[in-house]
Structure 1
Amino acid sequence: MRNETPACPALLVAAPASGQGKTTVTAALARLHARQGRQVRVFKCGPDFLDPHWLELASGHPVHPLDLWMTGAQDCAGRLHAAAREAGLLLVEGVMGLYDGTPSAADIALRFGLPVLAVIDAWAMAQTFGALAHGLQAYREGLRWAGVLANRVAGEGHAALLRTSLRDEAHWLGALQWAPELSWPERHLGLASAGETADALQRLDAMADRLAATPLGRMAPADLGPWRTSFEAPAASSPPPALLAGRTIAIARDAAFQFVYAANLDCLTVLGARLVFFSPIAGDALPACDAVWLPGGYPELHVHALGQARALRDALARHVQAGKPLSAECGGMMALFERIATAEGAVHALWGLLPGTVRMQQRPAAVGPQQLALAQGTLRGHSFHFSRCETALAPALHASAPDGRAGEPVWRRGPLLATYFHAWFPSCPQAAAAILRGEEILA
């Protein structure tokens, strides 16, 4: 009989702030253990499309978000439970600082009993390192503490100074010296994806090699016993009805349309849909389908290829004119406007299924959790974009922040639905199905 409360070593990798090296350490640790033949499962706290690309490459398995608000406690519990039944090591990368956000990475650690490893950028720091580590550990009662790892240290002397600043040197899990191979390629929304980085695997191996020289990297499976964590099964729930049975959904997927949660694809499959994929920037034709989904991504980096995809543009226009649903999310929506103006002022023609101009900017236009209330239920999700839309088209409805403040507009033109809002389909499969069936969604 299978153990219904599996246990395995687990670790939540956190930091005092963004940019400290959480992704570096999580990916390196996953790669190191995967190279040694262990089954490693990795999760990411909070909404994120980019870090999971690297974590998936490092571990060899899909990376799902854990968010007590967006995905929900039961979804988190179910995914952790399923992973623990197979894994020899379970890793969770935090988001921002350990206590940042509502809910925070610390809330995840406390909810599921995960030991916390703090990664601290010590580049311009001496004994205050110990005070910061102590504060992270002691700020919330009940937090399991694995230890601390110093990032970007200057050398062995610097590392020794940091180690002796700790109240308990047993919590020292090592130091990583700064090196060019430990840097990540970035752009305005965050890290460049692993698929766009030619030497991605070599970078991960270099990081794993560096980590292997630390106490953390030298830990054998028997040493991971103190991090062993039990994961209870969530309450059983019924699968959603097959509301998309017999329907084919065409999904854009390439470097311009890459922001897709694996769980959203799984949800559509459970709903009965047949999924087919196409690449607009490769010049693919629109597959025969009942509905189209254009996910988010980086259309602003591929304006020339998208502007020349006239056959696809015309096919999408015919699809909509035939009354078939087209759902466009963030970057997918941007491609549907008449033109895009870059942050440098250049203007490029796009597909023109929506009137107006998308304007890129240097700072985020919106970021944070949001939800979309529809007749079929409420989809939870988030928003994060560096552009704004100038259009005469009036919104059909708006998403909202958790506190009720107005959020992203949703534009509708016949069966075309477009918004900056990124939906987490498992939060309300019935609403996701209604959008892709072209049903009336206004409450």
Structure 2
Amino acid sequence: MTTSTIRGEAHAALITAPGSGQGKSMVTAALARLHRNAGLRVRVFKHGPDYLDPMLQEVASGQPVYQLHPWMTGEDECRWRLAEAAREADLILVEGSMGLFDGDPSSADLAILAGLPALPVIDAWGMAQTFGAVAQGLANFHPDLAIHEVIANRVGSPGHGRLLAGGMPAGLSLLGAIPRSEAMKIPDRHLGLVQAGELAGLDAQLDAAAEVLKEAGLDRLPARVALEAEAPESPPRLLDGMRIAVARDDAFAFLYRANLDLLDTMGAELRFFSPLAGPVLPECDALWLPGGYPELHAARLAANAPMLAAIRAHHDADRPILAECGGLMVCMERLVDGQGSEHAMLGLLPGRARMAGKLSALGLQSLATEAGELRGHTYHHSLLETPLEPFAHARRLAGSPAEPVYRLGALTASYFHGYFPSAPRLVARLFRGEPL
């Protein structure tokens, strides 16, 4: 089968930092909004298995945001998505994860793979000349990574910014010094940023943050980068004619755009519904309960008796259900929220999910079967208490122990979040209720 080559060119950079908490998410969003407001077409991507930062970046850029991760999404897909974006976008920003060199593969690995320069955001609070040493360390750590400029964040005064600029080592310059500003702050909770849809006034805040960056001299575009990749083959239409109901609201929001795209391309008709507010389940052949924050809405979920009854009836009819993380929690008999209150859930699986008050699992994992290897990750603050024996375990690549996968009837449930394009045939079997 022949493939076609995709080529494009755009201003591009990977926005990164020495570590988490330096402000790179909001800086990326403010940069996207700044250049969008200037009339440019901006595309933003996110390194790693993150659901929450892309929600913010989509509001900032006005364009869909996809995950890029050389292991989870694959190197070829990383190159393809960037090259495809470069055909139309004026500016491409990739938000890194954690610190620049943290993880395997790291944000630096993605930048090297794609040929993107890295643009570190360094929190300058409490630093003077040491700022230049941190910048130099990042720039010199890997010979194949290009770093020419850095951004200072949370600068105390114009004089502080001038001091930082004057202390930059040879070969590096300060692109801009961002002052401390309420416009640059965004709230978070136990799984990361508060969901963009829950933040009142987010558009106005992003416009204000864009102005903060403009006044700090950050309206200059990064270098242009030529991007090239082979277009992927279309996946087989293994879900033709299938209707898949997809839970999507404040309790069930952890949905990769690439997952939805794949189901659509394979022929499925997606029917979105809200377990929180909807009175009935849409007519469907299969049901997907993705991750999210059911623990924050447990009382409301428990009170929606018609919806719970409809999902139970779907399960009793032996129709497929895929439940990921938060979806798994809702499939249990009970859910204990962060305040210790216990709520009755669907009761499709015996036992309960209980908020642990701390991080319980984090890491890259995969589920290997004869139909393919579904790659993804785990990240949760709850614990499962169940007598049910697992059907299988995901394979641990890094981080926490392998997650158990449960199957009961046509229900498949796990804390494991899958990236569907990594194993289209396996995903089709899950939604068709076929043996794995």
2:176·2:217 contact (CA, 8 Å) conserved in 1?
A: yes
Question: What is the CA deviation profile of residues 329-350 of structure 1, one whole-angstrom value per residue up to 9, with x for unaligned ones?
Answer: 0011111111111233222222
Q: Look up the match of 1:230.
A: 226
Structure 2 counterparts to residues 210-359 of structure 1, below 5 A: 210-217=212-219, 219=220, 224=222, 227-234=223-230, 236-359=231-354
Residue 146 (structure 1) shift: 3.6
Change (3 A) 1:73 1:132: same
CA distance in 1, matches of 2:420, 2:8: 27
Aligned counterpart in structure 2 of residue 152 of structure 1, from 151, 154, 164: 154
Aligned counterpart in structure 2 of residue 414 of structure 1, from 384, 409, 430: 409
Residue 362 (structure 1) shift: 2.1
> Aligned letter for 2:10?
C
Moved more, 343-352 or 415-424: 343-352
1:394 partner SS: coil
Change (3 A) 1:209 1:157: same
1:278·1:284 contact (CA, 8 Å) conserved in 2?
A: no
> Aligned letter for 1:174?
G
Structure 2 counterparts to residues 88-127 of structure 1, below 5 A: 88-127=90-129
Residue 144 (structure 1) shift: 1.6
> Aligned letter for 2:337?
T
Residue 385 (structure 1) shift: 0.4
CA distance in 2, matches of 1:170, 1:369: 34
2:150·2:172 contact (CA, 8 Å) conserved in 1?
A: no
Residue 4 (structure 1) shift: 4.0
Query: What TM-score does the superposition give when structure 2 sets the normalisation length?
Result: 0.97
2:235·2:424 contact (CA, 8 Å) conserved in 1?
A: yes
Question: What is the CA deviation profile of residues 65-99 of structure 1, one whole-angstrom value per residue up to 9, with x for unaligned ones?
Answer: 11000000011111001100010000000110000
1:398·1:406 contact (CA, 8 Å) conserved in 2?
A: no
Question: What is the CA deviation profile of residues 304-358 of structure 1, one whole-angstrom value per residue up to 9, with x for unaligned ones?
Answer: 1100121111111111111110110001111111111123322222221111111
2:120 partner SS: strand
Moved more, 165-174 or 142-151: 165-174
Q: Look up the match of 2:39.
A: 37
Residue 363 (structure 1) shift: 1.5
Question: What is the CA deviation profile of residues 421-443 of structure 1, one whole-angstrom value per residue up to 9, with x for unaligned ones?
Answer: 000000011011100000001xx
Q: Look up the match of 1:51.
A: 53
Q: Look up the match of 1:24.
A: 26
Moved more, 426-435 or 351-360: 351-360
Q: Look up the match of 1:163.
A: 165
Residue 216 (structure 1) shift: 2.0
Residue 403 (structure 1) shift: 6.4
2:148·2:172 contact (CA, 8 Å) conserved in 1?
A: no
Residue 366, structure 1, aligned to residue 361, structure 2: yes
CA distance in 1, matches of 2:286, 2:298: 24
* Over 6 Å off, 4+ runs: none
**Structure 2 unmatched ranges of 5 or more:** none
Residue 206 (structure 1) shift: 1.3
Residue 159 (structure 1) shift: 1.3
CA distance in 1, matches of 2:287, 2:148: 46
> Aligned letter for 1:401?
R
Residue 419 (structure 1) shift: 0.4
Residue 131 (structure 1) shift: 0.2
1:327·1:436 contact (CA, 8 Å) conserved in 2?
A: yes
**Structure 1 unmatched ranges of 5 or more:** none
Residue 431, structure 1, aligned to residue 434, structure 2: no
Question: What is the CA deviation profile of residues 11-35 of structure 1, one whole-angstrom value per residue up to 9, with x for unaligned ones?
Answer: 1101000010111111001001111
> Aligned letter for 1:242?
R
Q: Look up the match of 1:378.
A: 373
Moved more, 68-77 or 206-215: 206-215
> Aligned letter for 1:383?
T
Q: Look up the match of 1:77.
A: 79
Question: What is the CA deviation profile of residues 148-197 of structure 1, one whole-angstrom value per residue up to 9, with x for unaligned ones?
Answer: 11111111121122111111386111111112221111111010011110
Q: Look up the match of 1:138.
A: 140
2:252 partner SS: coil
Residue 3 (structure 1) shift: 8.9
> Aligned letter for 2:64?
P
Moved more, 397-406 or 208-217: 397-406
Change (3 A) 1:393 1:91: same
Aligned counterpart in structure 2 of residue 200 of structure 1, from 199, 202, 210: 202
1:51 partner SS: helix
> Aligned letter for 1:304?
A
1:151·1:177 contact (CA, 8 Å) conserved in 2?
A: yes
CA distance in 1, matches of 2:5, 2:48: 29
Let me know the Cα RMSD of the aligned residues.
1.6
2:7·2:84 contact (CA, 8 Å) conserved in 1?
A: no
CA distance in 2, matches of 1:432, 1:291: 12
| Aligned residues between the structures | 433
Aligned counterpart in structure 1 of residue 188 of structure 2, from 162, 172, 186: 186
1:418 partner SS: strand
CA distance in 2, matches of 1:90, 1:127: 31
